[in-house]
Amino acid sequence: MTDDEDKLGAIYTAEEVAGQLRITRRALIKFARDIGACSRVGRTYLFSAQDKLDIWQGLRAEPIRYHGRAVHVPAHQSPLNVSRSLQALLAKKSKGSAKKADAGLSAHEKRQRLRREREARVARMKSFQPKRMDE
């Protein structure tokens, strides 16, 4: 066994991970592709142990805020939640401008633009570093 095999660890199928996380296979694949936490070989999606942890962190819910009954402590923002917030802000601001920008483009050029935007969002999400509680 080589060092690379030791570092990689166990590999799981989409069915195994979906069963462990108690979500559907399709929801798992869609979510994992959005955050870049899966590998694909043909039509087969594979997940490492770290991918499973990344997906689990992305699925975490924000705490309920009680009015005046507890001190508000900001929750750990997962990269996916940060990405969703950014998408919501950008969608509100650029809705009309995106339609204007797409007016003279072919379908292929529109797909390329959307792919570049998606790659930029994933890059921003991957570079996100949450604040540590001990700092």
Highest mean pLDDT among 26-35, 55-64, 97-106, 122-131: 26-35
Pair (46, 94) in one structural domain: no
The answer to whether residue 9 sits within a structural domain is yes
The answer to whether residue 73 sits within a structural domain is no
Nearest to 80 by CA among 72, 88, 69: 88
Whole-number average pLDDT of the chain:
78
**Token pair of 117 as six digits:** 């935007």
Q: What is the mean pLDDT of residues 53-60?
A: 89
Higher local confidence (pLDDT), 32 or 73: 32
How far does Cα 17 stand from its chain's mean position?
16
The answer to whether residue 71 sits within a structural domain is no
CATH number, domain with residue 27: 1.10.10
Pair (85, 53) in one structural domain: no
Q: In angstroms, rounded to a whole number, what is the distance separating the alpha carbons of residues 52 and 39?
A: 12
Q: In angstroms, rounded to a whole number, what is the distance separating the alpha carbons of residues 121 and 115?
A: 10
Domain that holds residue 86: 79-127
Higher local confidence (pLDDT), 68 or 48: 48
Pair (55, 99) in one structural domain: no
The answer to whether residue 97 sits within a structural domain is yes
Pair (13, 54) in one structural domain: yes
- Asked if 53 and 65 touch (Cβ cutoff 8 Å), the reply is no
- Asked if 8 and 48 touch (Cβ cutoff 8 Å), the reply is yes
Pair (52, 90) in one structural domain: no
Its pTM stands at 0.46
Cβ burial of 55 (10 Å; 0-12, 13-18, 19+) is buried
Q: In angstroms, rounded to a whole number, what is the distance separating the alpha carbons of residues 63 and 53?
A: 19
The answer to whether residue 107 sits within a structural domain is yes
Q: What is the pLDDT of residue 131?
A: 61
Q: How many domains does the chain have?
A: 2
Rounded to a whole number, what is the distance in angstroms from the first to the last CA of the chain? 40
Model confidence pLDDT, tens digit, residues 58-114: 888 876 665 555 544 455 566 666 777 777 777 655 555 556 666 777 888 888 888
* DSSP for residue 97: H
Pair (84, 42) in one structural domain: no
